[in-house]
Amino acid sequence: MDLQSVGNGSVMKSAKRTQATDALERQDKRDLSLMTRASARLHHGLPNEDHVFEVRRQGFSISTDRSRLDIDLVCRFLLEESHWAREFSEAMLLRALRSSLLFGLYAPDGRQIGFARAITDFSLFCYLCDVFVLASYRDRGLGTWLSATVLKHPDLASVPTWMLKTSGAHRVYARVGFGPLEDASLFMQFRKKVDPPAVKEAVPRAPA
Ligand SMILES: CC(C)(COP(=O)(O)OP(=O)(O)OC[C@H]1O[C@@H](n2cnc3c(N)ncnc32)[C@H](O)[C@@H]1OP(=O)(O)O)[C@@H](O)C(=O)NCCC(=O)NCCS
């Protein structure tokens, strides 16, 4: 192997490398553009977390403004007074709240008196849960209004399939359109035993 051939070889090699690099760069650009288009399609029309939905009636209001929520009240009610969430830890509940669409119900003086949570993909399916109205405000239509308002939220209004589970409030939900399962044999459930401390560790710390 003479110097020339080494030289030529290296020129060849570097020309080849340049071609290969160019090809890779072109491929990268194509991939990137495909990814950008795909992710743009994936993100197009996603609900804006900062958008606050609010309705008012006779001084009462319902709002999705997370900064207005009395989280202590929500946790206290669900963990101590509800019949469905008592087995959960506060960390499990907070994690669930963090990734759901939350509705606060407020009295005319601004105090929170009720709550509802929507678990959803904002397109095909929504599960309504953790609905409550504080005892002294019940039986005046607020629970029905709260449920109806969740169904009307602009990002949920075109969701076709809704589900919920209730032990005694069937009539409240029936008034806004819910009914028994059309074919219960199609549905299955899995009650998984979980270790609350493990879930607690997995909860990300709130920023300081
Ligand atoms: C279930 C719950 C949210 C309902 O809230 P609420 O504000 O009392 O609900 P509403 O007032 O809309 O409806 C309750 C009753 O008031 C009556 N009512 C409805 N509108 C009314 C109005 N404008 N004026 C007076 N009464 C009214 C309804 O007839 C209804 O009675 P019925 O269900 O026996 O037919 C509330 O009772 C609660 O928090 N319960 C404990 C938690 C719970 O079980 N949550 C459900 C989890 S799935």
8 and 79 share a domain? no
Closest ligand 1 atom to residue 129 Cα is 48
Atom 24 of ligand 1: nearest residue by CA position: 140
What residues of the chain score a pLDDT lower than 50? 1-12, 201, 205, 208
Helix H or strand E segment including 190:
none
Taking the CA atoms of 56, 82, 71 and 93 in sequence, report the sign of the dihedral they define.
negative
Domain region containing 39:
1-43
Give pLDDT, residue 117: 98
Pocket lined around ligand 1, Cβ cut-off 6 Å: 82, 131-133, 138-144, 166, 169, 171-172
Same-domain check for residues 6 and 105: no
Rounded-to-integer distance, Cα 5 and Cα 184, Å: 78
Is residue 113 in a domain? yes
Query: Residue 106 carries which DSSP code?
Result: E
Taking the CB of residue 71, how many other CB atoms lie within 10 A of it? Answer: 16
In this structure, the answer to whether residues 61 and 11 fall within a common structural domain is no
Q: Quick check: 130 and 117 in contact, CB under 8 A?
A: yes
Quote the number of domains for the chain. 2
For the chain, helix, strand, coil in percent to 5 are: 45, 15, 40
Predicted local confidence at residue 11, as pLDDT: 43
Total residues found in the chain within this entry: 208
Comparing CA positions, the residue from 166, 110, 169, 162 lying closest to residue 138 is: 169
Q: Can you give the pLDDT at residue 94?
A: 96
pLDDT of residue 5: 40
List the one residue out of 83, 171, 67 whose CA is nearest residue 132. Answer: 83
- Closest ligand 1 atom to the C-alpha of 84? 47
Same domain, 38 and 72: no
Give the CA-trace dihedral at 176, 177, 183, 189, to 10 degrees: -30
